Amino acid sequence: MTGEQKNIAPIIRAEALTKNFQGMVALNAFDFSVNEGEIVGLIGPNGSGKSTVVNLLTGVLAPTSGRVLIDGKDFTGAAPHVVARHGVVRTFQMIRLFPSLTVERNIVLALQEQSGPGYMSSFLNRRNAMAWHEKAACKARDMLALFEMEKHAHKLATDLSIGQQRMVELARGLATNPRIFILDEPAAGLSPINVDRLIEMIRRMRDEFGVTILLVEHVMRVVQAVCDRVVVLDYGQKVADGKPDVVVQDPKVIEAYIGLGRSSHA
């Protein structure tokens, strides 16, 4: 309970979060929080429960027991779109963009669902809706420019490379001014050059835009380069929580990764 002693209220907080899948415990009494402006890494071997944590925090799954608090309010079991509208925004391990929409429309749609006028009010007040839409398109282009993707704005998302699609995903999330941006293995499938670019962009999102970030990652290079704090999961339990260089020395962490009689991990 080191971070929580301070007076800053955590943006997101899990209290004794537990998830069973048909008797198998995927996550067991997980306590954890992310404070404003932090970049927290969540690491652990395959099947340790990282994705379950993300799915519980974003409302994709409902916990078996325990609570999820966002800005101190209880969001346990809330629908994903409700959680998203409170600024908990995520990316996916397998890149997810709408293939039928252009890159720009992918971002505009996210802005619209987060903060745009409702369908009814935009139908009734067309001028207002169009002005809003114009602003959203501007914002989308600014974001794309930030990620050096502006020339792809009118392409279909599926016509881009994996690295470019990843940048669009980040641009989509950042555009909505998230309270907390959860990145689910953003380095997966990226070339070393793109990983460097990813590291730079994660830093800039926090330093220039003040975005709080929860980074779920396998690639230790990324974790060590950007994270202020690292939480380690093994078999659905938290085994460590601290500064990256301290955590990697922790014998429990080494055991989780190298393992005793368990297959090791890249």
Partner 1 sequence: MRAIFLILVAAATLAIVSTVFGGGYAINIAIVVCIYVILASSLDIVMGWTGLFSFAHAAFLGIGAYTAAILGRDFGTTFWLNLPLGMIVAGLFGFLLGLPLLRAQGHFLAIMTIAFQTIVYLVLSQWTDFTGGQYGIEVEPVAGFTTLSSYFYLVLVIAVICLIAIRFLTQSRLGDALQAIRDDETLARTIGMNTKAVKLVALAISSAFAGGAGVLLAYHIRGVTPDDYTVLASASIVAMVVLGGRGRFWGPVLGAVLLTALPEMLSILTDYKHIFYGGVLILVTMFAPQGLAGKFSRWRAR
Residues of this chain that bind partner 1 (CB under 8 A) = 58, 60, 79-81, 84-85, 89-90, 92, 96-101, 105, 108-110, 112-114, 116, 119, 122, 129, 133, 172, 176
Query: 83 or 222, CB closer to partner 1?
Result: 83
* CB hemisphere CA count around 191 (13 angstroms): 6
CA distances from 43 to 105, 183, 200, 253, 257 (A): 33, 12, 20, 10, 10
Cα distance between residue 86 and residue 12, in whole Å: 11
Residue 109 CB, nearest approach to partner 1 (Å): 5
DSSP labels, 7-35:
SSPPSEEEEEEEEEETTEEEEEEEEEEE-
Residue 136 CB, nearest approach to partner 1 (Å): 10
Residue 120 CB, nearest approach to partner 1 (Å): 9
For the chain, state the CA radius of gyration: 19
Cα distance between residue 188 and residue 218, in whole Å: 8
Residue 5 CB, nearest approach to partner 1 (Å): 33
Residue 129 CB, nearest approach to partner 1 (Å): 8
Query: 78 or 253, CB closer to partner 1?
Result: 78
Residue 189 CB, nearest approach to partner 1 (Å): 18
Query: In 4-151, at which residue ranges do the beta strands (DSSP E only) sit?
Result: 12-21, 24-34, 39-43, 65-70, 73-74, 88-90
Query: 135 or 221, CB closer to partner 1?
Result: 135
Closest CA to 35 of 67, 3, 60, 58: 3
CB 213 within 8 A of CB 205: yes
Query: 177 or 224, CB closer to partner 1?
Result: 177
